[in-house]
Structure 1
Amino acid sequence: MTHHTDPAAAPAVLAGRDLVFGYRAGDPVPVFSGVTVEVPAGSVLAVLGPNGGGKTTLLRLLAGSLTPDAGRVVLDGTEVRPTRRGVGELRRRVQLVFQDPDDQLFSASVAQDVSFGPLNQGRPEPEVRERVAWALAALEIADLADRPTHLLSYGQRKRVVLAGALAMRPDVLVLDEPTAGLDPEGVEALLATLGGLRAAGTTLVISTHDVDLAHRWADHAVLLDRRVLAAGPARAVLTDPALLSAARLRPAWGPAVGAALRAAGAVPATAPDPATPGEVIRLTR
Structure 2
Amino acid sequence: MSPGGAPATAPAVLAGRDLAFAYDDADPVFTGLNVAVAAGEVLAVLGPNGGGKTTLLRLLAGSLRPRSGEILLDGAGVPQSRRGIGGLRRRVQLVFQDPDDQLFSASVRQDVSFGPLNQGLDTDTVRERVDWALDALDITGLAGQPTHLLSYGQRKRVVLAGALAMRPSVLILDEPTAGLDPAGVESLLATLEGLRASGTTLVVSTHEVDLAYRWADRALVIDHGVLGVGPVRQVLGDTALLSAARLRPAWGPAVGRALRTSGLLPDDAPDPRTPEEVAALLDSDR
| CA distance, structure 2, for counterparts of residue 253 and residue 244 of structure 1 | 12
**TM-score when normalising by structure 2:** 0.96
Question: What pairs with 1:1-285 in structure 2 (closer than 5 Å)?
Answer: 2=3, 9-24=9-24, 27=25, 29-285=27-283
Aligned-pair distance for 1:5?
A: 7.3
Query: Secondary structure of 2:254's partner?
Result: helix
The one-letter amino acid paired with 1:20 is: A
Query: For residues 170 and 20 of structure 1, do their structure 2 counterparts lie closer, same or farther at Cα, with a shift above 3 Å needed?
Result: same
Once the two structures are superposed, what CA deviation does each residue of 1:30-56 show, in whole Å capped at 9, x if it has no partner? 111111111111100000000000000
Query: For residues 54 and 36 of structure 1, do their structure 2 counterparts lie closer, same or farther at Cα, with a shift above 3 Å needed?
Result: same
Query: For residues 6 and 63 of structure 1, do their structure 2 counterparts lie closer, same or farther at Cα, with a shift above 3 Å needed?
Result: closer
The one-letter amino acid paired with 1:16 is: G
Once the two structures are superposed, what CA deviation does each residue of 1:140-169 show, in whole Å capped at 9, x if it has no partner? 000000000000000000000000000000
| CA distance, structure 2, for counterparts of residue 211 and residue 108 of structure 1 | 36
* Preserved CA contact (<8 Å) 2:134 2:143: yes
Query: Secondary structure of 2:27's partner?
Result: coil
* Preserved CA contact (<8 Å) 1:17 1:36: yes
| CA distance, structure 1, for counterparts of residue 148 and residue 48 of structure 2 | 32
The one-letter amino acid paired with 1:31 is: V
The one-letter amino acid paired with 1:41 is: A
| CA distance, structure 2, for counterparts of residue 63 and residue 6 of structure 1 | 18
Query: Secondary structure of 1:2's partner?
Result: coil
Query: Secondary structure of 2:97's partner?
Result: coil
- Unaligned runs of at least 5 residues, structure 1: none
* Preserved CA contact (<8 Å) 1:4 1:233: no
Once the two structures are superposed, what CA deviation does each residue of 1:4-52 show, in whole Å capped at 9, x if it has no partner? 9798x3111000111011110xx35111111111111110000000000
The one-letter amino acid paired with 1:184 is: P
* Preserved CA contact (<8 Å) 2:7 2:36: no
| CA distance, structure 1, for counterparts of residue 177 and residue 122 of structure 2 | 33
* Structure 1 segments of 4+ aligned residues over 4 angstroms from their partners: 3-7
Aligned-pair distance for 1:272?
A: 1.9
| CA distance, structure 2, for counterparts of residue 92 and residue 131 of structure 1 | 14
Query: Secondary structure of 1:107's partner?
Result: coil
Aligned-pair distance for 1:271?
A: 2.6
| CA distance, structure 2, for counterparts of residue 6 and residue 211 of structure 1 | 21
The one-letter amino acid paired with 1:19 is: L
* Preserved CA contact (<8 Å) 1:6 1:233: no
* Preserved CA contact (<8 Å) 1:262 1:271: no
* Preserved CA contact (<8 Å) 1:4 1:236: no
Superposed CA RMSD: 1.3
| CA distance, structure 1, for counterparts of residue 92 and residue 3 of structure 2 | 27
| CA distance, structure 2, for counterparts of residue 6 and residue 32 of structure 1 | 18
Query: Secondary structure of 1:175's partner?
Result: strand
> How many residue pairs get matched?
282
Query: For residues 160 and 28 of structure 1, do their structure 2 counterparts lie closer, same or farther at Cα, with a shift above 3 Å needed?
Result: closer
Once the two structures are superposed, what CA deviation does each residue of 1:95-126 show, in whole Å capped at 9, x if it has no partner? 00000000000200000000000000100010
| CA distance, structure 2, for counterparts of residue 279 and residue 195 of structure 1 | 18
* Preserved CA contact (<8 Å) 1:221 1:238: yes
* Preserved CA contact (<8 Å) 2:6 2:34: no
**TM-score when normalising by structure 1:** 0.96
